């Protein structure tokens, strides 16, 4: 029997890098001249980032600072899920930014459908919030990876456990 090769498709975010980026962004907000006497701050609460600022304009600047630090730490911006801007106490505004971790059921089904349509001999199994792709040929697995890199599923995809 031929040896089967496989890899997993996952969507993960390195929380240590996110934590470091939030700390760096908070330090920059504390030292920048345009944020003097401002209540702008960035905090990490569980799997979400909370942005607080004086008004919508400053909030946009806070978002820019955060995204710059995340990119520098190699955290994909596609992993951010921006909530709506809401009013907070003291005339400030707040925005929750969620982190997309794991594949939702509909994204997993869409990826599964795409792979099955393009590659007939490749098997795909949905395993919770990840996908296992199995084939007898290494070339087919690499072609599947290339196909998934070309597509935009609205969140970052990583390929792990390649065996």
pTM, two decimals, is 0.84
Give the per-residue pLDDT at 2: 58
**Do the strands 93-99 and 80-82 form a parallel or antiparallel pair, or are they unpaired?**
antiparallel
Q: Residue 160: count other Cβ atoms within 10 Å of its Cβ.
A: 10
Domain of 148, in residue numbers: 5-12+103-160
**Do the strands 86-87 and 158-160 form a parallel or antiparallel pair, or are they unpaired?**
unpaired
Helices 56-72 and 15-31 meet at what angle, rounded to 10?
Answer: 130
Are 84 and 120 part of one and the same domain?
no
Task: Tell the residue number behind the tokens 């907070």, with chain if given.
Answer: 88
Are 146 and 113 part of one and the same domain?
yes
Residue 121 φ then ψ, to 5°: -95, 0
The pLDDT tens digits of the residues spanning 123-154 come to 999 998 899 999 998 999 999 999 999 998 88
**CATH number for the domain harbouring residue 54:** 3.30.70.990
- Give percent of the chain above pLDDT 90: 71
Grouping H, G, I as helix, E, B as strand and the rest as coil, residue 50 is: strand
pLDDT band of residue 75 (cuts 50, 70, 90) is very high
Are 92 and 21 part of one and the same domain?
yes
**Do the strands 86-87 and 130-135 form a parallel or antiparallel pair, or are they unpaired?**
unpaired
**CATH number for the domain harbouring residue 142:** 3.30.70.860
Are 116 and 150 part of one and the same domain?
yes
Domain's final residue, options 73, 99, 125 = 99
Report the candidate in 123, 118, 126, 148 with the shortest Cα–Cα distance to residue 135: 123
Are 155 and 85 part of one and the same domain?
no
Whether pLDDT at 107 is above 70: yes
Cα 33 from Cα 138, distance rounded (Å): 55
pLDDT band of residue 1 (cuts 50, 70, 90) is very low
Are 85 and 33 part of one and the same domain?
yes
**Region of residue 63 (left: phi > 0; alpha: psi -120 to 50; beta: else):** alpha
Whether pLDDT at 48 is above 80: yes
pLDDT band of residue 27 (cuts 50, 70, 90) is very high
Whether pLDDT at 49 is above 60: yes
Q: How many CA within 13 A on the CB side of residue 18?
A: 22
Whether pLDDT at 47 is above 90: no
Give the per-residue pLDDT at 20: 96
**Do the strands 123-127 and 80-82 form a parallel or antiparallel pair, or are they unpaired?**
unpaired
Give the per-residue pLDDT at 31: 93
pLDDT band of residue 67 (cuts 50, 70, 90) is very high
Whether pLDDT at 161 is above 70: yes
Mean pLDDT, the chain, integer: 91
Give me the number of domains the chain comprises: 2
């Amino acid at each position: 029997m031929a040896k089967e090769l496989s890899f997993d498709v996952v969507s993960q975010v390195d929380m240590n890098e996110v934590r470091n980026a939030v700390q760096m962004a908070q330090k920059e907000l504390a030292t920048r001249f345009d944020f003097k006497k401002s209540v702008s701050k960035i905090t990490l609460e569980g799997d979400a980032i909370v942005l607080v600022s004086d008004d919508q304009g400053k909030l946009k600047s806070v978002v820019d600072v955060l995204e710059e630090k995340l990119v520098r730490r190699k955290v994909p911006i596609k992993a951010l899920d921006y909530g709506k801007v809401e009013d907070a106490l003291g005339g400030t505004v707040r925005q929750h930014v969620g982190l997309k971790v794991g594949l939702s059921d509909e994204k997993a089904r869409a990826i599964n459908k795409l792979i099955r349509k393009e590659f007939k001999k490749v098997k795909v199994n949905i395993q919770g919030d990840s996908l296992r792709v199995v084939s007898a040929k290494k070339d087919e697995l690499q072609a599947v990876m290339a196909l998934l890199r070309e597509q935009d599923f609205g969140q970052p995809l990583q390929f792990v456990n390649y065996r």
